[in-house]
Chain A
Amino acid sequence: MSKKSTPARSGQDTDMLLACYRGMLRIRKVEQRLSKLFADKEIPGFIHLSIGQESVPVAISRHLRDTDTIAATHRGHGQALAKGIDLTGFVAEMMGREHGICRGRGGSMHIADAKLGMLGANGIVGGGISLATGSALAHKLAGNGDLAVCYFGDGALAEGIFHECLNLAALWSLPVLFACENNGWGEFSRTDRQFCGSLERLAGAFGVPYRYADGLDVIEVTDVAGTLIAQMREDRRPAVLECRVERFHGHYEGDPQKYRDPAEMALLAERDPLARARQALTAAGVDTARFEALEAEIEAEIDAAVAEARAAPIPDFAAASADVYAQA
């Protein structure tokens, strides 16, 4: 199913690939820093890294407006970053600080930036699916051409809510893109031990357009997502996009992944969308100095965000406990 990235052909293609690469690299570097901060106990709780899956949100977000909405998953750092979440607010939230985008009340699994149309990351597998579907209903009634993106993993394929919402979105013709980051693992178990269907056939059963894109190839995902999204803005119908990706880290950070075959793990480096993109860029004439400059620029941005987050105050319990209801 996977194929090698086609080397960028024109200057325009190279610019786009470079932009995608930068977006993916930024997510990768941020998550690598989160991993370090978690190991150093500067981030509490659970975090679920999307290293290896960066191509999907980067590609999709290239076609989104600020007013389009997204429902993110528990493995949704990349989804939030690609939508444009402020990095300092993001890091501060991970670190449980008052200046976190959710004032330290949500954390990794509940991160949201409402002004960017984020319906929230979700600690419940499949929990965001109906939220995105409902958001699509709001878009449709508003008649504004916006759409909702529902990110989910293959681990949600057996959740009833997915089947309910696929039906509803088709029945009512709602502009929601069901975007499956299929990493082959539902938590600690292989997908083929959890789901015996096929997402393509499931979409077909409801008459929903389905497209597959190789998640190792960010350009392919960008093209396929672009086609689907352009069509959705026209016909206000749902669509399903499935992308095969790899989960480099464990289900949660610190998961030793003893359930995974070492031989398969050894092959992961070959299945890295960033490495593929870099190869293609190198072939197109992008030199090492350019890559190093990109890395330095991103690391500096992350350093600044982490420093600011560290300096931020911890949240006040009284203020948090007084804000359970929106009604003052």
Chain B
Amino acid sequence: MEQLRFGQAIGKALADAMEADPKVILLGEDIGEAGGPFGVTRGLYQRFGAQRVFDFPISEAALVGTAAGAALSGLRPVAEIMFMDFCTLAMDAIVNQAAKAHFMFGGQTAVPIVVRAPHGGGVNAGAQHSQCLEAWFAHVPGLTVVCPATPADAYGLLRTAIASPDPVLYIENKALYARKGEFPDTPAAIPFGQARTARAGRDVTVVTYGAALYQAEAAATQAAEKGIDVEIIDLRSLQPWDEAGVLASLARTHRLVIFHEAVEAFGVGAEIAARMADVGFDELDAPIVRVGAPFMPTPYAPNLESAFLPDASRLLAAIERVMA
């Protein structure tokens, strides 16, 4: 088992998918000769050429709309949105066109596109380059939403996303690109809707996804020093999400904290909390607690952003609260 960076795992998944299927093409701003704003697509233009890797104009509505049109005509485009915040410019293509075509047309068609969208703060990029908007997309019937945390999951979920006949929002936290992790010698596709137990524990379940996983692991280590045994469920897929897996963990620990970087209000955690309050009501020994970002735009100044981002200490406080 080798070590690979998160961004490299995404690049490898793209390369392997392109090798396996000539219908896979890449569309995105600066992804070709420049190798991508974060270097994720480095080398792919040189390897696969200008007929497979397209440097797109700064024209996000056309980027995703064109990807959807090409998909309706038989290709499997992967569109890179430079920062997830820019999805706002492509919302018609994602929400009204790609998400609905299969259903609206009575199942005649599929729109196999992947929209790669980097989210997340921590780099002082300010309010328009840091948002975690995954809940918007998880709310739209027809879309699949995934958000991996490890290189192996980044690879496996991207292979599944590219092979899927449905439009997939593939969300990658910018803070993870350089992070190294174990990478299997023969990496496998990972099915949608299956969570991973990142840490087994008896006392409290923490459900998380994306880069927040690493804050959760830090909080679990601190909790262990206080005698609290935390189980961490890494969702990996947000739509569909592993309701049975979360419920099974809750049935063991009887306490649930949901932790994500996105703004807490109306976020992914709200859906999980609501479902567990329903189907898991009899298992609960404490209120379900969410920990996410406060209801404000991502601020710029380092001290402000640090205070804004949910961290291990806030999660630990929530864990202690449900254990009290």
Contacts and interface: CB of A to CB of B under 8 A. Distances in A.
Interface stretch (B29-37, B97-105, B175-183): B97-105
A131 B108 contact: no
B62 interface: yes
A47 to B, nearest CB: 16
B166 A327 contact: yes
B104 A106 contact: yes
A289 interface: no
Contact of B71 (A69, A106, A134): A134
A73 to B, nearest CB: 14
B221 interface: no
B51 interface: yes
A152 B72 CA distance: 19
B108 A130 contact: no
A110 B71 CA distance: 18
A104 to B, nearest CB: 8
A135 interface: yes
Contacts of B101: 120
A168 B59 CA distance: 9
Contacts of A100: 106
A137 B69 contact: yes
A153 B72 CA distance: 22
Interface in A51-75: 69, 71
Interface string A92-131: 0000000011111110001011110001101110010111
A134 B73 contact: yes
Contacts of A133: 62, 65-66, 69
A317 interface: no
Determine the interface band of chain B, counting residues with CB < 8 A from chain A: 35 or more
Determine the interface band of chain A, counting residues with CB < 8 A from chain B: 35 or more
B57 A167 contact: yes
B120 to A, nearest CB: 27
B73 A69 contact: yes
Interface string B102-125: 111111111110000000000000
A326 B66 CA distance: 20
B222 interface: no
B68 A131 contact: yes
Given A134-B67, A141-B51, A168-B62, A102 B106 contact: yes
A126 B103 CA distance: 20
B59 A113 contact: no
Looking at B62, B75, B77, B165, the one whose CB has the most chain A CB atoms below 10 A away is B62
B73 A101 contact: no
A138 interface: yes
Contacts of A129: 65
Interface in A155-196: 160-161, 164-165, 167-168, 171-172
A134 B108 contact: no
B284 interface: no
Interface string B54-85: 10110101101111111111110100000000
16 contacts: A112-B104, A112-B105, A114-B109, A124-B92, A127-B92, A130-B68, A131-B65, A134-B65, A136-B69, A137-B66, A161-B65, A165-B62, A168-B66, A320-B103, A326-B165, A327-B165
Interface of B: 25, 51, 54, 56-57, 59, 61-62, 64-75, 77, 92-93, 96-97, 100-112, 141-142, 144, 164-166
Interface of A: 69, 71, 100-106, 110, 112-115, 119-120, 122-124, 127, 129-139, 141-142, 148, 160-161, 164-165, 167-168, 171-172, 320, 323-327
Q: Which 7 A-B pairs have the closest CB atoms?
A: A130-B65, A134-B69, A103-B106, A138-B73, A134-B66, A131-B69, A102-B106
